[in-house]
Amino acid sequence: MFLGAIGTALCQNSNGKYSSPSPHPQLRGKSIFELRCATCHGLDGLGSEHAPDVIRRTAVRTLSDQALLTLIHDGIPPAGMPGFADMGKEDGQALVAYLRFLQGESAGNSIAGDPVRGRDVFFGKAGCSACHSRGQFMAEDLSGFARDHQVGEIREAILRPTGGRPETATAIALDGRKFSGIIRNEDNASLQLQDGDGGFYLLMKSSLISVQRKTGEPMPVDFGQRLNATELDDLVGYILREARAPNVP
């Protein structure tokens, strides 16, 4: 159910055949998307509280053009997505073409960098391994991000990082054992830590003597100065290779 529930606002123009104002296929598809899809999927197609991402999700990206057209035509009634049976063939094709454009098909999504050189950058000049590696493997948070995002988004995240500083903790149990790592989950009764080797520990707070917390260092914001364009491409290539094929040596 990857296109999700869609609100009634999305259906406001489902009566009568849509007539797009522009003959240019990309502009035509953009107009249709903004009118019919953006209310719930967002203007960028990356999803909202009403409907999920239709740009980066593999389940959507791997659908054939014909499968997308059928889905648009039939909808997913159990999930709340209406069908647009009134949409003409040319409008449907323009909409699919615009979706492909947003997904990066027309812009290209190949890895320009060399993953082998990128590994040297990751563990050397860029210093990524200080925070994002477990032994010789990347941390799951970085791997997960790389699997779900495109080349340009990964490069942008490196050059202009966002988000808060990671919080770490050292917990001492009643029996004297000590657990240290990044806080992954916490509620009133439990604390989950991920240690430096990637292992997870779910600790009941009632079994702990103390918990010492520390806010980690933020991601550096000077990679644009520290790395040249080739090194940055190589770094992105390595990150993507490791995320998508973690057993590659």
Whether 186 shows a pLDDT value over 80: the answer reads: yes
Mean per-residue pLDDT of the chain: 76
104: Cβ–Cβ under 8 A, 6 or more apart, which residues?
150, 151, 152
In the beta sheet, which residues pair with residue 168? 182, 214
Which CATH number is 167-215's, of 2.30.30.100, 3.30.465.10, 3.40.50.300, 3.40.640.10?
2.30.30.100
**104-118 b/e (C-beta count within 10 Å ≥ 16 → b):** beeeeeebebbbebb
- What is the structure's pLDDT at 162? 73
Residue 55, Cα to own-chain centre: how many angstroms?
Answer: 10
> What is the per-residue pLDDT across 138-174, written as a single tens digit (0 to 9) for each?
455 676 677 767 777 788 888 888 765 667 889 999 9
Q: Do the first three CATH levels of 8-102 and 115-163+219-244 match, i.e. the same topology?
A: yes
Domain boundaries, the chain: 8-102, 115-163+219-244, 167-215
Predicted TM-score (pTM) of the model is: 0.44
- What is the structure's pLDDT at 141? 62
Whether 203 shows a pLDDT value over 90: the answer reads: yes
Among the residue ranges 29-33, 55-59, 181-185, the one predicted with the least confidence is 55-59
- Average pLDDT estimate for 19-25: 46
- What is the structure's pLDDT at 238? 87
pLDDT band for 136, please (50, 70, 90 cuts): very low
Whether 114 shows a pLDDT value over 80: the answer reads: yes
pLDDT band for 241, please (50, 70, 90 cuts): confident
Q: Which of the two residues, 29 and 57, has the higher pLDDT score?
A: 29
Helices (H), 42-179: 58-61, 65-74, 89-102, 115-123, 129-132, 140-148, 151-159
Which CATH number is 8-102's, of 2.60.40.10, 3.40.50.2000, 3.40.50.970, 1.10.760.10?
1.10.760.10
- What is the structure's pLDDT at 15? 40
Which CATH number is 115-163+219-244's, of 1.10.8, 1.10.760, 1.10.150, 2.60.40?
1.10.760
In the beta sheet, which residues pair with residue 201? 193
pLDDT band for 26, please (50, 70, 90 cuts): low
Residue type, 89: K
pLDDT band for 216, please (50, 70, 90 cuts): low
